[in-house]
Amino acid sequence: MTPRETKTILMVEGDPTLRHSRDLLLSTLGIPIRVASDYKDVCLSDSGCFCLVTISLSPSQTEAAKVAELVRRRWPTARILLLGTLSAAIDDPLYDEIVDARFNPSALVEACQRLLGTSGADLGVRRER
* pLDDT tens digits for range 1-52: 344 446 899 999 998 988 899 999 999 999 999 999 999 999 988 767 899 9
CA distance 64 to 45: 16
* pTM for this prediction: 0.81
C-alpha torsion sign, points 11, 12, 16, 18: negative
Angle between helices 16-26 and 105-116 (to 10 degrees): 60
Sorting pLDDT into bands at 50, 70 and 90, what band is 70?
A: very high
Give the domain range for residue 54.
3-119
Mean pLDDT of 51-65: 86
pLDDT score at 101? 62
Asked whether residue 94 is domain-assigned, the answer is: yes
In a domain, 15, yes or no: yes
Please check whether residue 11 lies inside any domain of the structure: yes
For residue 104, tell me if it sits in a domain: yes
Judge whether 124 lies within some domain.
no
Domain count, the chain: 1
Task: Give counts: helices (H), strands (E), the chain.
Answer: 6, 5
DSSP output for 30-59: -S-EEEESSHHHHHHS-S---SEEEEE--S
The CATH number that applies at residue 83 is 3.40.50.2300
**Domain assignment of residue 129, yes or no:** no
Does the pLDDT of residue 87 top 60, yes or no? yes
